[in-house]
A and B are shown apart, each in its own frame.
Chain A
Amino acid sequence: MKIKNNALNVLFRPIWRDNPINIQMLGICSALAVTVQLKTALVMALSMTFVISCSGFMISLIRKQIPKNIRIIVELSIISTFVILTDEFLRAYFYDISKQLSVFVGLIITNCIVMGRAESFALSNPPHLAFIDGVGNGIGYGSVLLSVAFIRELLGAGKCFGMQVVPDYLYSMGYEDAGFMLLAPAAFIIIGLLVWLQKVLTKGSP
């Protein structure tokens, strides 16, 4: 029973209380870049979840064998292997999306969240927990990405997952999409507001 509780805790902690973007302020760069549309944000979130959880699992599996002096390089090799696999897969099956995501899938390698989880969690916990921790962090990262993308796509293009949601009569009444929302600074502001919101909701207690 205790183990299960622990696993649940590992899963949910990074989603809200320890959210990688809102609380730890990691991975902001990609969050600015891929959140213009919900579709790219979703694919990015899934790729990220896959990479964090699988690399966490693998690193944890061989954590007792990894020589301490080449620890970081070993982690990076494993992470980059998974990132390249993801990139190749997207290129083969989701070419349009991979074109839109361009370099950002490749840049998951440098995302601090992945490295951070490998160093601080996978190296000192058993594989199944490392995997769950990866899923949790992926969801935590993805939920922020999707919220930001939802706001940006809705206000910036009047769409939701590429479908028109702002009715035509509003446009004919003079409503205009806020082009600013499509630019990177808008994402910065929205993330800032989300951080504020979460801090208010949790009353600043960690």
Chain B
Amino acid sequence: MSDQMKTIVFAFVLCLVCSTLLTAASTRLQPLQAKNIQTDRKKNILMAISLIDSNRKYKNNEIDRLYNENIYKYFIDQTGTIIDLTTPSDTTREDLLPVYLAMDNTKKIRSYIIPVESRGLWGKIYGYLALKDDGATIIGFAVYKHSETPGLGGEIENRWFQKNFVGKKIVDQNNDFMSISIAKGRAADQVSGEKLPNYVDGISGATLTGQYLTRGLSEILSEYEPASIRFRQNILQCRMQSEVPWCENEN
């Protein structure tokens, strides 16, 4: 066999062995990884509504239990009506937005959680924004996936940054919609008192990440505004396929 032939055969066999190994490992570990990703998202939802402490370590089944007891996934349509998707025909509707509702044990809604998918500097930022049932106050923000620069924009995944969102408003003084913005540096240095509830402290060295996230949050919050208005006016209308007590109109 010529040298050239030998090289080609060797390369081919090596590729075959390596790819077989990798395929085997990937197939075997896939279900576990998928489970981890799912649990991580649930954990972030729970973190957004401060149901779990970010410093403590939780077992997977603990998170599953907390999630199942407190969080319910629904959809809202463009009028802000909450819809329970149990009939398959509805699942194909594209105008529906997913929303997670946190309820207490009397099945009353305490808060609603909006999935965030925003543009970032290097890639998409994924997270959750939790709002109180008054439709105006933010109770938490969590990021579970991003590709920002570690140490700069990457700080969005840390609690100190996310804590800045707690208590901020998505309405102005007249109770009209006004999205939340990330300031350049400290919010107090940049805006005056009455606007302060709409601004959170930014990360120094990560101005662009802040700008993209501001824009992303504004777009997402506007999409969910019909639902937020209903929360603000306390006229929740639900179209539920399965009957759940909280669904009654409060008006």
Contacts and interface: CB of A to CB of B under 8 A. Distances in A.
Interface residues of A, number: 23
Contacts of B40: 95, 99
Given A70-B10, A70-B11, A77-B15, A92 B3 contact: no
Interface residues of B, number: 21
Interface string A88-100: 1101110100010
B18 A78 contact: yes
Summarize B's interface: helix, strand, loop or mixed. helix
Given A67-B6, A69-B7, A85 B150 contact: no
Interface in A67-105: 67, 69-70, 73-74, 77-78, 81, 84-85, 88-89, 91-93, 95, 99, 102
Interface in B20-41: 21-22, 25-26, 29, 32-33, 36-37, 39-40
A109 B58 CA distance: 32
A70 B12 CA distance: 12
B123 interface: no
Contacts, number: 51
Contact of B29 (A33, A67, A88): A88
B29 A92 contact: yes
A84 B32 contact: no
B191 interface: no
A195 interface: no
A202 B18 CA distance: 42
Contacts of B37: 95
A43 interface: no
6 contacts: A74-B14, A81-B18, A81-B22, A84-B25, A95-B33, A102-B150
* Pairs A-B, 6 closest by C-beta atoms: A95-B36, A92-B32, A92-B29, A67-B7, A81-B18, A91-B33
